[in-house]
Structure 1
Amino acid sequence: MMTTLRLLLLSFIIIISDADKITTIKEVSVREGQSIIIPCLYDPIYESHLKYLCSGYMWAFCKPKVYSKPQETNSKMSITDDRERRTINVTMNALSSSEAGHYWCCIEIDKASDEGSWFKLQVTKDPELYVENQTVTGDVGQTVSIVCHHPHHHSSNEEMKWCKLDGNCVKNTGTLDRASVQLIKTDKFLKIEMSNLMMKHTGWYYCSVGHLQMPVHVSVTNISKTLRLRTMKQAPNNPAPNNTAPNNTAPNNTAASGR
């Protein structure tokens, strides 16, 4: 009994201490048979550490499922470590109701307790919050639209917002890192419009309705600039007109003279 209490206390301490070291969503709803990507952002000091996913309600009893070692994957779950953006991307495929539960994004620490942050996975026939596509792409200076569906009736007291995973949230109209954000709310969906996009706005965001979140990756490209540069390179090379007076002097005897 004492051992169990100690383990529970240890789990509680670890959860509190790791809250600012790994950031992820807390609860997500997925349709049976479909897939989802869960992003987990981590502190720069853990860039070179091994990452893994484990399952279980309590951290002390968490069972490792898959690691970020090269090529280590299974048919259901895999993780990749994007060190440039310090993101663990957890991919969960063809989910069934038996796979619902608590999971942890984890970082292996040598000679110390590993770090971990949990998220809860719902798997149902009729998800409460979903998007048609978890990835949206927009060009610099343009606008992207994201529609988060919540088909069930939600109380007007339930908060709806759009957030950057490692940053602030917008509840109606506002800005996120200088991107303009407008929310359009109905009883069936939440529509988000992000405008004045810049390259730095690439990253993970999430829509939130009540206790549920749905992660969405916004990818900002510079296609217009790329196309302009490509067009300039492909344009015919028209030499500048020669404004000098004609040279009537006989040419020097060179190899081209045939002599």
Structure 2
Amino acid sequence: MPQHFILTFCFVQWIQVCLCAVTTEAEFSVLEGRSLTIPCHYEPQYAGYVKYWCHGRMREFCTSLARTDEPTAPDGSEQKVMIYDDPVQLVFSVTMTQLKEEDSGWYMCGVEIGSLWSADLHAFTDIKVIHGMSVLHSRVSGEEGSSVKVECFYSEKYRESPKKWCRSGDWSSCLLTDSEGAYTDTSVDIRDDRTGAFTVTYKKLQMRDAGWYWCGAGQQKVSVHIQVLPRVTTTVMPVTTSFTEKAPQPITNSAWNTHSHILGALLVCASFLLILGFAIFARRMWKLHKNDPELRLGEGMKVRFNDYSEEMGEMQASGVVFLNKNSQSSHML
């Protein structure tokens, strides 16, 4: 009975491993001479545990290459394998540099449990270090007249081989680097750093440069497509301080509609002012016409009054004469 209990308990512990407490990609491929970084993810409860990286397919025969509880190499010194744990993101990463073909094989991300009854948690990955070439971007684009770069990578085997840049389908167009790993002309510049990469730079793109190319080393090559975008032109009006006569500008539909609206508004205002002026003039004439008979009646009365006054004066004068005359007659009598 105890033996069955022990076997059951061990089986439960191995189930934890099968539940993918640690995960990573199943396979990685990298060019010889390049570097590779592998992320290993784990569950939150294992954040404080020791993580390790080893070379092998079985834990018992896995050669340890790096551990999080071991000191790292001093700054500035070369270290082929580096490990870094990030408990916040729940991932530890392993970086392997200057890979060679013999570095190919199975590797293991491990979390050390450190218990007699608990197996370490781990995940395996297959790393393949290959010969050949690759590019950073298989498609690049640039505006006409600008510059564009293509980065090509090669494996250690082709370090000393001349590097090529050719237009696809035209072998006569191939440009090769010299013994110094360089090529240059008025439009293209090629530079090989002799560490696994070379760069092709187009100094001034033209529309005819668009198309498929390939960069190569030895018998290896990889395709790249270059797209040339039309240049965007902008018109800049010169700023001058002198007064110059401007050429007449064509009237567009929108400008004509705007002018029509303004002209219509002006005509309405002018018509209103004209009608208002005419109304004021007519009112004044009407007032004058209405007041004219009264003026004439007043003048007539004034004339009659003057005539009456004169007649009264004459009558008074004649009366006096008459009285005087009678006086004289009676006196004479």
Q: TM-score band (shorter)?
A: 0.3 to 0.5
Higher relative contact order structure (alpha carbons within 8 Å, sequence separation ≥ 6): 1
Tell me the TM-score normalised to structure 1 length. Answer: 0.43
Tell me the TM-score normalised to structure 2 length. Answer: 0.34
